[in-house]
Amino acid sequence: MGAIPSPEYNQSKILPQKLALWVGIGSMVMMFAAFTSAYVVRRSAGNWLEFKLPDIFFLNTVVIVMSSVTLHYAYTSFKKGKEKWYKGLLIATFLLGILFVVLQYKGWQAMTDIGATFTVNPSSSFIYVISGIHAAHVLGGIAALIVAMVHAFVLPFRPTARRRQRFELVCQYWHFVDVLWIYLIGFFLTQS
């Protein structure tokens, strides 16, 4: 019964699945809030190795923002019934998502190269852990995109309400990991 809109009496206008995802997003936010406040607390205690964040992390940011844009247009194309654009932009989003994860990996390599290894000091350990767990969330989003692509390419194109709602769930989550990354990179920049 998971993703099927319930025929029951629904008290609020929002779909139960969307509300559930919002609540889930709330708990993911708390998790990252915990990580970043731990970072602040730990940093203020001194003995903190300063280093410059490799540039790849900014390239990364551009990539994930672009993926949100492509996904958004995939969604509007879906609603307008432009099948080709919808499918093409969905693939583009998927590829950008993969690229993000690859670049993230390169970014960690670049950090190791300048001596900011995983264990040298909590200042770098935190970056690995926080961006690593974020990347895990992106991988979850990529899995959702794969499901969306299966819908797009296996099922006949029909912009029904139910399929739109399912697609909206994917978008909601993907935009969340994007915004989360923007917060994280902003946080790293103001903190280091």
Nearer to other proteins, 78 or 176 (CB): 176
Nearer to other proteins, 18 or 80 (CB): 18
Amino acid at site 164: R
Nearer to other proteins, 24 or 81 (CB): 24
Given the rule CB under 8 A, which residues bind other proteins? 1-2, 6-12, 14, 16-17, 19-20, 23-24, 26-28, 30-31, 33-35, 38, 41-42, 45, 47-48, 118-119, 121-122, 125-126, 129, 133
Q: Are 145 and 61 contacting, i.e. CB atoms less than 8 angstroms apart? A: no
Work out how close the CB of 45 gets to other proteins at its nearest, in angstroms, rounded to a whole number: 5
Nearer to other proteins, 89 or 177 (CB): 177
Q: Are 155 and 149 contacting, i.e. CB atoms less than 8 angstroms apart? A: no
Largest CA distance in the chain: 59
Rg (alpha carbons) of the chain, rounded to whole number: 19
Residues 6 or more apart from 137 whose CB is under 8 A from it? 28, 177, 180
